[in-house]
Amino acid sequence: MHYNTTLPAAPSCLDAARVASAEGPRNRMPTSVWLIVHIVVRNPLVNIPSFTSMVQKTARLGGSASNVIVGKIGHGLMRMTWFPKNGIPVPDEEAFESMRAGMDNLPPGAKMILNSGEFYGHEPRTANLDLVARFFEKYPQYKEKAFLCVKGGSANDTVFRLDMSDDNVRRCVDLSVDKLRGTIEMHHFELARVSPHHPIEDNMKVLSELLEAGKFHHIGLSETRAETIRRAHKVAPVTSVEIEVSPWNYHQQIQDVVDTCKELGIAILAYSPLGTGLDKKEGHAITDVLNDVAKRNNITPAQACIAWVASRGDHMIPIPGSSHKDRTLENTAAGDIEFSHEDLAKIDAVVAEHNAKGGRPIDDPRMDAA
């Protein structure tokens, strides 16, 4: 799919890095994206498009939220507070401009998935929820355009760890509601991990009780295998499952989750569509084909990554993160990109041949042990 663009001046290495990273200029880019940047800088013919038109594609969530229409590309907020540059968080106005840009770019009736977490910060740990509360306190008119997902499950300790016990899950939900200060409802609460000490069936029962109590409206899971999703879905409807999906991370367990969620009508929130620091020789082949397809379609390599993830199914919702308005607009525009059969087949073939073999918590069998 081609877009009308204007050719910018030849980018510096820093400018190219900022464009190639859908995570934005403040954040450390994964190795996979640096591979893309390296090739983009070496190839001055790669065009850097500018996207300003409203996006068209949407998606539906699953489970009890199957009637909710959202943008095909969501907005991950973690890096606005999780990895501040030199210890300094992203300024509110910069973050807010990025959030508004994404929501303003949606078609009428669609909501933007804002992916937050009760532990997406350092000092304090709830910094991301505090940011969300400040945003909706200042811009209450955007509540109708947002679908807020909150991941939770951190222990009440000075050292960060996860705790999926019943009491701690309840504490995390109450803490999240408290930190939002009534500025926006928590539409969706997502269990951060599956614990080897707490059966997923018990977790789902507790979450169902909290849902019935009006703490939030829908239930999600994160970093869990296909079989565990089936077990959870038998207890209560699962709206979405959040896992890492990228051209560099599409091994069999990820594919099993993708297929299972499609079968059960569950959406996938695909975080880190640009990859997460894979330093593997095989990664260069994937980078090469993405750059080739991006150049031919007059899009950025980062958009090619996001569009490839989105092409895995109607239930796939990539949630790249950015605190920069322009990057957010480029990210959302990627949802409208449709590859030709030939281009998609080329990417698929290289991904299948050179893909990484795991490395995320989903690959640890202990995470699914009950």
Cis peptide before 247 (omega within 30 of 0): no
Q: How far is CA 122 from CA 79, 222, 336, in A?
A: 11, 21, 35
CA angle 55, 57, 3 (to 5 degrees): 50
The amino acid sitting at 9 is A
Is 250 labeled as catalytic in the residue annotation?
A: no
Q: Give dist(CA 294, CA 298) in Å, integer.
A: 6
User: Catalytic residue among 120, 142, 250, 271, which?
Assistant: 120
Name 290's Cβ contacts closer than 8 Å, sequence gap at least 6: 36, 247, 301, 304, 305, 308, 347
Instruction: Answer for the pair 173, 154: CB distance below 8 angstroms, yes or no.
Output: no
Select from 30, 8, 67, 63 the least CA-distant residue to 326. 8
The residues that are catalytic are 120
